[in-house]
Structures are given as structure tokens and as C-alpha cells.
Amino acid sequence: MLLEVRGLGKTFGGLDAVKGVDIDVPEGRITAIIGPNGAGKSTLFNLLAGFYRPTSGTVTFRGKDITGMKPHRTVREGIARTFQTTQLFEDATVLENVLAGCVVRSRSNAIDAVLRTPRYRRDERASKERAMAELEFVGAAHLAHEIASKLPQEAQKRVSMALALATQPRLMLLDEPAAGTNDEETEAFGDLIRQMVDRGITVCLVEHKMSMVMNLADQIVVLDHGQRIAAGTPAEIKQDPLVIEAYLGAHDHQAGARP
């Protein structure tokens, strides 16, 4: 297993946002995490990426215990993430955005930059090559010199993926990669995610668009009220009575589930 989550829990002010969650993410596969709104999906992502410190449980990544590790270290370990609402360095160009993602793998420091050491030059060259390559990969190379905030949503989403890819992850956490896109674009993002897997990157995603999840995922984990209520292949999940109830129940209460 690339990532093993055991008994993971997080409480906010006495309320369980996530409780006793177990997840196995196998290497080279796509794992989808679904559940009604407020089921704790985003909290779970924040726990995995180190943005929140778990109150209980463990997270093991490539055999190493990373429970409670700070985000800058989880990124170094090889976990990258995107945000639900696309976050970019808005006034910078697309290329500069992606260059920022190269920082974590760079070896040169401020002193190298001031003295322009060979290490600094090597680093800058390598960063630029990598950034351009990732832009190429997500299909945004032609936008390299555009200002990020001026791009349409869909292009910004691509850039944010290139930014995350530039950190050279082994595990990619995508928080609603298809939110706010039309069917055609959703399809294209699905292809992009498959290509990531082809490159050897394991993908874990939170998504509301069921068509995408069912098409894409090798395994699905269902959360409700912070707890795992089911896990399995898309076919199994579709028939799981607990899942159906969670979604229908949520509908009855207008909690806004979007199956």
C-alpha cells in the first residue's frame, strides 16, 4: 500500500469531523472519496496533507509514519494536493506559478542566489525545464506567459494541477477536480488524471460528479458523518444499501448531496 490510514480522527470543539477512518490507497490506482456534503471529505484531505493535525489514528505513507507531519514535509515526502476552490498566485504568470512548485525539490538557497553559484544556475535551469514540461503535460504550455487570474476557470484548474505536479509527487490529492466544469471538460480532466496514473502517480480524489467517479475510480471510499460507511469497486458501491441510504437520507434533509 502506498498510503495506509488507520483509525484517523479529528475533532473540532468536541465535534467529530472525521472519526475512526481506515483507508488503503494502493499504488498506481485511482481512489475516490465520496459522501454527502459535510461528510468530512475535505477534513480528511487536510489531515492527509498535514494541514490539520489528527486527534487520533495514524497515517503511513510508503511505510513511513507521517501522522501529524507538517504540510511542507508531506510535500517533500511526495504528497501533493490541489484545493477545492482553485488557488493560484493570481497576479503572476502561469509559468511563474508552476516555477513556485519547483521550490520544494530545489537544493539552492538564498546565498546561492546572491552568489550565483553553479548550483543556483543548475537549479534555475532545471526548474524552468520542469515547469514547462508540466505545463505541456496539462496542456497549458501555450498559456505560459499569461497572467493566471485572467484565465478562464478551466485553464486555472489545469495550471493548479501543473503547480502540484511540479512538486514531483507520488500521491496526488485532488479536491473536486471537476467542480464547475461542463461535461466535455470533465471528460478531459478524467483523461488528464488517467495520464497522471500512467506516469506512475497514484491519485486520490474527492468528487461530487458521480459519472466521473464511476468511470475513473478503481476503488471508492464512502464517508458519512465523518465515518467510513463503505469501500469497494464502483460496482459494489452502487449497490451498497448503506451508501444508498446515506445519499437518500441526505436528500431528505436537503443537505445538498449531489449523487
Residue placing its CB nearer to another protein in the complex, 59 or 75: 75
List the grid coordinates of 19.
Answer: 472519526
Q: Where are the alpha helices (DSSP H) in 62-117?
A: 71-77, 94-101, 110-115
DSSP string, 216-259: H-SEEEEEETTEEEEEE-HHHHHH-HHHHHHHHHHHHTT-----
CB of 244 to another protein, least distance (A): 32
Helices 153-165, 183-198: axis angle to 10 degrees equals: 10
Closest by CA to 206, choosing from 49, 1, 11, is 49
Dihedral of the CA atoms 197, 4, 178, 46 (nearest 10)? -130
Residue placing its CB nearer to another protein in the complex, 59 or 246: 59
Distance CA 214, CA 222 (A): 13
CB of 96 to another protein, least distance (A): 5
Instruction: List residues near another protein by CB under 8 A.
Output: 12-13, 49-53, 70-72, 75-76, 80-83, 87-93, 95-97, 99-104, 106, 108-110, 112-114, 116, 120, 123-124, 127-128, 144-145, 147, 163-164, 166-167
Closest by CA to 168, choosing from 223, 215, 98, is 98
Q: Where are the alpha helices (DSSP H) in 166-199?
A: 183-198
Closest by CA to 144, choosing from 132, 129, 127, is 132
CB of 26 to another protein, least distance (A): 24
Residue placing its CB nearer to another protein in the complex, 144 or 188: 144
CB of 158 to another protein, least distance (A): 16
Closest by CA to 168, choosing from 196, 198, 206, is 196
Residue placing its CB nearer to another protein in the complex, 158 or 222: 158
CB of 232 to another protein, least distance (A): 30
Residue placing its CB nearer to another protein in the complex, 83 or 151: 83
CB of 12 to another protein, least distance (A): 5
Residue placing its CB nearer to another protein in the complex, 1 or 103: 103
